[in-house]
Structure 1
Amino acid sequence: MNDDELMDEEPGDELGDEMLNNKKPGYFRKLVTLLVLLAFIAISVPNFPFLFSDTLNFLEQNRALKEDEIVQRCKPAVVSIEATVANGLFNTEVKRGTGFNISPTGTIITNQHIVVNASTITIRFGDGTVYYSKKYEVIPDVDIAIIQIEGSALPTIALNTKDRVQTGDTVTIIGNPLGYEKISQRGEVGQFYSVKNSLNQIFDINIPINPGNSGSPVLDNQSKVIGVIFASTSVEINGKSEPRALAIPVQVLP
């Protein structure tokens, strides 16, 4: 007799009651195991209670920005990146992130930490076009990599190397967090920070980012790139810790 048949037994059926009573300990054991597992996850992952709410938040903002002019103009040039790294003979690692194209023939800007030591780099545009590359250069002391591909008439985003980003500027990022593609988020530029062994400053944005956002372009109100996301941090605001994205100004690009 299966579980559906048990549920169909009338409450007064003695055989059904007996079988239900015999199964209760098993159900209780499963329930206890589930509760213990959830408790373990909650303890092991401090942000577990907020994980899904954060995800819903960035998806909700992405929906709100779906028809935004800046997003529509820049999204085609944002790419997903997969870097395959060989760690030994039978062990490979795939690192995923975001990049953006600045040349019709294919010049992709992303983070160095995504592609370093990669044997193959896969670049995927939104229309499904895929390119493979092993050629990239890095900027010393900056988490930036420049990948060259051989394309034609590719969508591009322009760089704004003339105007430096300022505290309070409203900016937009487009990236690939947590396996989602081309998610748009908007926020304000906050503080600037000096970096050890570098003359360049980085800045934060009051946008929570997730794995996969590395390499996302930071866009100004002219639909031009003014920075590149590379990490996250948190700042104290009125006694509360708030997540922030960290970005590198585009002035570091050659």
Structure 2
Amino acid sequence: MSSSEKPLLPWRKIGTDALAVVLIVLTLTAFQVFPNPLIPNLSFSSNQSVALADELNNIPVSPGNTHSFIAAAVQRVGPAVVRIETETTITKRVQDPFFDDPFFRGFFGEEILPNPPQEYHEQGEGSGFIVEPNGIVITNAHVVSGADKVTVTLKDGRTFKGEVRGIDELSDLAVVKIDGENLPVAPLGDSSQLQVGDWAIAVGNPLGLENTVTLGIISTLNRSSAQVGIPDKRLDFIQTDAAINPGNSGGPLVNAQGEVIGINTAIRADAQGIGFAIPIDKAKSIKDQLARGEKVSHPYIGISMIPLTPSIAKEYNKDPNTAFMLPEINGVLVVKVMPKSPSAASGFRRGDVVTEMDGQTITTPEQLQNLVENSRIGEALSVKVQRGGHTQVLTVRPAEMKE
């Protein structure tokens, strides 16, 4: 070998056949070190490599699940997922740039304005899923709210007229009834058992594309409605990166077993891969009331609040123009007390710091809100507050929130 030649790297000397053997051994070793969670109890030692193909071929596969657990889950829930089309009548007048000028209206009067109000039909679309064989369908309130006509189409092509039985705006849930018998039913899971990282499968009709399935994971749990950007709701959401688009609203979020764990509801328009679903346990707790046409009660106490930490309080207290000094503690700061509310009647004041409610430590507004939401109307709740350096205990009785 001349001095100008560079020595071959060791793997270049091995040869093609030997290299193939090395790659196979390395691949099998990798499978042994990082086992496939979908193929349990397989060991890939050198003595067993010969039987690898036979072992893989003998893995039991359930009927209808010849491709993946995703396909099996979709087959289980898919027939019960429906498309919901709505029609809403809107009365409005088309504006005229000349006749709607304030000078013209003031000079000639309103009665001679042209273009009287006309009726327009606004179309909407969403998803839902059947939970009882006689035709009880769960969807989002915002899918069917205000609709004059609701049409429900099953995956097999059958079409039914839908009757909106009940709507709860605060939880964004609704029940629609269709007339049918022995209809396919979506199995309901248990959202309280979810963990971050679990599989999440979104099924629905996004953008009018029927029977669309997307896959992701549970990104986080108990995401408050305020964090999602819809503070007028009373919800803690499941966050997922499974793709959710307009038209998915009301459709099911499904686990790896094909059970509904949530109702797809919202997305963040300024982000990708961030969607939100209502936990199915919330829907299970009120679906029967909605199906009977009953109003769902939501307790409230009537305060606006923000989280407080020692650092926030310390920064606030530095301002010489502050109306009062804040205790440098963790809690919830009351920034407004609504007139004639239960909180007003109980003696709450702006600047109170709530540290405890009904024996539970309070550090976030979401904690306080959940305790109130899960209380009973008229039930006495003991609330510990810090006010002006002193601790006080107030008793508040939640009232029913009016729409």
TM-score, structure 2 normalization: 0.43
Distance change (3 Å), C-alpha of 1:197 and 1:219 = same
CA distance in 2 between partners of 1:172 and 1:67 (Å): 8
| Residues 164 and 226 in structure 1, CA contact (< 8 A), matched pair in contact too | no
The answer for the alignment partner of 1:68 in structure 2 is: 71
Distance change (3 Å), C-alpha of 1:191 and 1:102 = same
CA distance in 2 between partners of 1:198 and 1:94 (Å): 24
Computing the radius of gyration from Cα coordinates, the structure with the larger value is 2
The answer for the alignment partner of 1:77 in structure 2 is: 80
Does residue 194 (structure 1) correspond to residue 194 (structure 2)? The answer is no
Structure 1 residue 114: Cα displacement: 1.0
The answer for the alignment partner of 2:252 in structure 1 is: 217
Q: Summarize the alignment of residues 170-181 of structure 1 with structure 2, pairs less than 5 Å apart.
A: 170-181=199-210
Does residue 101 (structure 1) correspond to residue 123 (structure 2)? The answer is no
The one-letter code sitting in structure 1 at the alignment partner of 2:280 is: V
Deviations 1:196-232 (A, max 9, x none): 4666310211123222111110111221111000110
CA distance in 2 between partners of 1:171 and 1:123 (Å): 25
Point out the more displaced range, 185-194 or 92-101.
185-194
Does residue 133 (structure 1) correspond to residue 162 (structure 2)? The answer is yes
| Residues 77 and 187 in structure 2, CA contact (< 8 A), matched pair in contact too | no
The answer for the alignment partner of 1:205 in structure 2 is: 240
The one-letter code sitting in structure 1 at the alignment partner of 2:236 is: Q
CA distance in 1 between partners of 2:70 and 2:266 (Å): 27
Deviations 1:139-170 (A, max 9, x none): 35111111112210100111124643221111
Distance change (3 Å), C-alpha of 1:185 and 1:65 = farther
CA distance in 1 between partners of 2:250 and 2:191 (Å): 21
Residue aligned with 2:263, SS: strand
The answer for the alignment partner of 2:42 in structure 1 is: none
Deviations 1:13-59 (A, max 9, x none): xxxxxxxxxxxxxxxxxxxxxxxxxxxxxxxxxxxxxxxxxxxxxxx
Q: Which of 247, 264, 272 is the aligned partner of 1:242?
A: 272
Distance change (3 Å), C-alpha of 1:140 and 1:92 = closer
The one-letter code sitting in structure 2 at the alignment partner of 1:142 is: S
CA distance in 2 between partners of 1:155 and 1:71 (Å): 13
Q: Summarize the alignment of residues 2-151 of structure 1 with structure 2, pairs less than 5 Å apart.
A: 68-88=71-91, 89-151=118-180
CA distance in 1 between partners of 2:181 and 2:167 (Å): 23
Structure 1 residue 191: Cα displacement: 2.2
The count of residues paired between Structure 1 and Structure 2 equals 186
CA distance in 2 between partners of 1:219 and 1:67 (Å): 10
Residue aligned with 1:243, SS: coil
Residue aligned with 1:191, SS: strand
Question: What is the root-mean-square deviation in Å for CA atoms of aligned residues?
Answer: 2.2
The answer for the alignment partner of 1:5 in structure 2 is: none
Deviations 1:97-152 (A, max 9, x none): 11110110001111111101111100000111111123321235111111112210
Residue aligned with 2:78, SS: helix
Contiguous gaps of at least 5 residues in structure 1: 1-63, 236-240
Residue aligned with 1:251, SS: helix
| Residues 119 and 134 in structure 1, CA contact (< 8 A), matched pair in contact too | no
TM-score, structure 1 normalization: 0.67
The answer for the alignment partner of 2:17 in structure 1 is: none
| Residues 216 and 243 in structure 2, CA contact (< 8 A), matched pair in contact too | no
| Residues 234 and 243 in structure 1, CA contact (< 8 A), matched pair in contact too | no
Identity, % of aligned positions = 31
The one-letter code sitting in structure 2 at the alignment partner of 1:200 is: L
Distance change (3 Å), C-alpha of 1:200 and 1:164 = farther
